[in-house]
Every structure is written in C-alpha cells, then in structure tokens.
C-alpha cells in the first residue's frame, strides 16, 4: 500500500491505516504512480479472488446472475457490477470478450463492488455446458416477436444475458437460451443503454426472488 504525504496529513487518515503496512511517497511521485488526474492519495496492490460457477451457484437455493456478453465499455461493466451488488444478485458472468473487470476504469466504476460480488469470465461453450449442469435457466434480452415481457418471465434461479452495446446478444447465445425477454418500452424507442437495461432487469429479478443480505 502506498499513500501520498498530503493524504497522511488529513484528519483521520492515519487512523484508517492502523494495522496496515504502507509506504509514504511525495505527492509528485504519487501523481506519476496513479492513472487519474486527481488521485485520492492511496494505492494498493490487491490479489484477485478466483471463483468457479459451481461455487457461485452454491451461494443460495435460487441464485441470480447477470451474464454480460462482449460489453466493451469498462464504465458499463463497472456500473452494472455496482448495481448487481446493490440489488442482491449473486454474481456476474462475462463471456465473449467483455472489458477487463479489473481494469482501472471498471474498478472505479464498480465503487467497491469488485471486492464483494463474484465475477467469472468464460467462453460460450463452457458457459452453456456449466449452466445446464448447474440447473440454471438462461434468458436473453432481445427484441423479437417470440419474446416474453420482463414482468411475465419466471426469473427464479437463472442468468439473464445483457448483450453487446452495438450488436446485442449473439446468435450463439440466443440459441443457448431457453427464452428471450424484453423490457416494455414505447415502440418509438429501439433500445436502452446496457447499464440501464441491466438495472431494470436486476430490479425485476430481485422483485421476484426477494432481496437477500
């Protein structure tokens, strides 16, 4: 852990570091170490936690997951991570080349959710096989004639796919899904931002399943 001289001088900051081994560096040096224009004055190297889908599905009887496919914006991934943590999802599943969940922008956008809510990266074929073995239903968000309105879908023990910002859910994952669902909206609107869509889907998932601490 590294802290800047100015951070250490602020009231209460020294007590926050009680029991933690840290090194103090000059503000000018700290600015070079950080990748932000206005760093907060503290940096740490943290070991990433490792998860498996089997461990994640064992968290409770009816686990709820969001599956993000090919989301390229780290801000979207981090925001969805933060929302999933707040609303009581059990984890995020990342497939087909999403933005790095532990990239600086993603971590900042997650606002600490990266330390609490499991995330698991995998390929499409492995994912579909593991979901089937785990007994998790897979639903895709898509605008198609055969879709079910979000509030009418049974969202217990499932994973819901939020597709790429530009292309939506891929054909491969649509074929792997048991059902497609849509968010009710005015016909003049074609789609929502990925993070906004994920928030609405999460709210309905938790409404049906109940928020668990």
Q: Give the residue, 199 or 127, on which the prediction is more confident.
A: 199
Which residues, listed in sequence order, are joined to residue 128 by a DSSP beta bridge? none
First to last CA, the chain: 30
Tally of CB atoms within 10 A around 62: 15
The angle subtended at Cα 160 by Cα 115 and Cα 192, nearest 5°, is 90
Give the model's pLDDT for residue 61: 77
Give the model's pLDDT for residue 134: 82
% of the chain surpassing 90 pLDDT: 51
Asked whether the beta carbons of 132 and 157 are under 8 A apart, the reply is no
The angle subtended at Cα 174 by Cα 169 and Cα 177, nearest 5°, is 125
Residue 164 DSSP one-character state: B
**Look-up: residue for tokens 């309105």?**
149
- C-alpha 16/C-alpha 37 separation (Å) is 23
Residue 213 has pLDDT above 60, yes or no: no
Residue 91 has pLDDT above 60, yes or no: yes
- C-alpha 28/C-alpha 116 separation (Å) is 32
For the chain, the 3-state helix, strand and coil shares in percent, each to the nearest 5, are 40, 20, 45
Residue 212 has pLDDT above 70, yes or no: no
Asked whether the beta carbons of 90 and 64 are under 8 A apart, the reply is yes
Residue 137 DSSP one-character state: E
């Amino acid at each position: 852990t590294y802290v800047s001289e100015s951070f250490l001088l602020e009231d209460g900051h020294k007590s926050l570091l009680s029991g933690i081994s840290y090194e103090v560096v000059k503000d000018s040096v700290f600015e070079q170490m950080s990748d932000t224009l206005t760093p907060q004055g503290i940096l740490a190297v943290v070991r990433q936690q490792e998860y498996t889908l089997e461990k994640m599905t064992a968290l409770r009887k009816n686990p709820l997951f969001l599956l993000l496919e090919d989301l390229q914006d780290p801000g979207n991934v981090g925001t969805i991570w933060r929302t999933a943590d707040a609303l009581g999802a059990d984890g995020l599943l990342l497939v087909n080349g999403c933005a790095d969940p532990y990239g600086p922008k993603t971590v900042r956008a997650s606002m600490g959710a990266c330390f609490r809510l499991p995330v698991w990266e995998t390929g499409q074929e492995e994912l579909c096989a593991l979901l089937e073995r785990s007994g998790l239903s897979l639903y895709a968000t898509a605008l198609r004639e055969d879709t079910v309105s979000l509030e009418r879908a049974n969202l217990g023990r499932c994973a819901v796919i939020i597709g790429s910002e530009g292309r939506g859910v891929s054909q491969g994952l649509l074929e792997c899904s048991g059902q497609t669902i849509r968010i009710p909206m005015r016909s003049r609107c074609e789609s929502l931002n990925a993070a906004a869509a994920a928030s609405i889907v999460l709210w309905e998932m938790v409404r049906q399943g109940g928020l668990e601490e």
